[in-house]
């Protein structure tokens, strides 16, 4: 199963940075077991949301030819829990090219202005068409940014 952890992209600058939100609903299936009777969004999924945002930044910046696959987490800190009903505001920025085909990113996630995660990570560039239909991903990006409405 694939989790889409970005519900909306609110702002982006090609090749530089991207902002988005994740709305945590009580109906998320990962909350059933994390933890029974005390649902908390797993920290690793907050990190995955940052990585997905980096993927969207790379895809949109490359005309949907590339995606980023998380390959190394340099550092990651958590600063509290994310609960059902929370809206996580996430920002990811390109830091540097580590070597050809590998880029580093930094990101932070906040709820109500309070930091919940901060991370620096690396990702390998991979052809988007190897995993997804590039045209469909371009359309989804336009929906997430509200460039395409119904």
Q: Which residues contact 32 (CB under 8 A, 6 or more apart)?
A: 39
Q: Residue 132: is the preceding peptide bond cis (ω within 30°)?
A: no
| 3 within some domain | no
SS3 133: coil
| 150 within some domain | no
- pLDDT at site 129: 95
Q: What is the pTM of this model?
A: 0.94
- Catalytic site positions: 34
35-66: per-residue pLDDT in tens?
A: 888 999 999 999 999 999 999 999 999 999 99
| 149 within some domain | no
- Cβ neighbours around 146 below 10 Å, total: 10
Which string of b and e fits 37-69 if b means at least 16 CB within 10 Å?
eebebebebbbbbbbbbbbbbbbbbbebebbbb
| 1 within some domain | no
Residue pointed to by tokens 């580093």: 104
Which CATH number belongs to the domain containing residue 138 in this structure? 3.10.129.10
| 117 within some domain | yes
For the chain, the domain total comes to 1
- pLDDT at site 150: 66
56-95: per-residue pLDDT in tens?
A: 999 999 999 999 999 999 999 999 999 999 999 999 999 9
Write out the residue range of the structural domain in which residue 28 sits.
8-144
């Amino acid at each position: 199963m694939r989790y889409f952890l970005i519900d909306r992209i609110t702002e982006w600058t090609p090749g530089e940075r991207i902002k988005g939100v994740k709305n945590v609903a009580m109906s998320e299936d990962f909350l059933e077991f994390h933890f029974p009777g005390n649902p908390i969004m797993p920290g690793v999924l907050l990190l995955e949301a940052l990585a997905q945002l980096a993927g969207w930044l790379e895809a949109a910046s490359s005309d949907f030819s590339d995606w980023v696959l998380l390959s190394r987490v340099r550092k990651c800190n958590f600063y509290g829990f994310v609960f059902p009903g929370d809206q996580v505001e996430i920002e990811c920025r390109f830091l540097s090219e580590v070597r050809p085909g590998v880029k580093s990113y930094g990101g932070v996630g906040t709820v109500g202005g309070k930091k919940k995660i901060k991370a620096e990570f690396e990702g390998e560039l991979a052809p988007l068409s190897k995993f997804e239909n590039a045209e469909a991903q371009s359309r989804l990006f336009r929906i997430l940014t509200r460039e395409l409405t119904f």
